[in-house]
Amino acid sequence: MSGISWVTRILTIIGGLNWGLIGLANFNLVAAIFGEGTTAERVVYSVVGISALWELIRLLMREPERAEARRD
């Protein structure tokens, strides 16, 4: 796995955990660290969103698995 793939996967996980905190505890970790409504907060959200888009593209571009490979 390439370096960019590792970074995007980690950022996507961090974004998911933040959304989990928002949903379960009504706590926004990104806003708590960078301040609510700040440019830094928007940059973090943008980078996480781009990372998720990158992961989606990678997922859609994967070659279909062969039936033989699934049996192993």
Within the chain, residue ranges assigned H as helices are 3-25, 29-34, 39-61, 67-71
**Tens digit of pLDDT for each residue in 11-70?**
999 999 999 999 999 999 999 999 999 999 999 999 999 999 999 999 999 866 655 555
**Contact yes or no for 40/34 (Cβ under 8 A):** yes
**What domain range is 25 assigned to?**
3-63
Rounded Cα distance between 58 and 71, Å, is 24
* pLDDT given at position 68: 52
Burial (CB < 10 A; 0-12, 13-18, 19+), residue 40, is exposed
The pLDDT of residue 2? 84
Domain assignment of residue 21, yes or no: yes
The number of distinct structural domains making up the chain is 1
70 within domain boundaries: no
pTM assigned to the model: 0.77
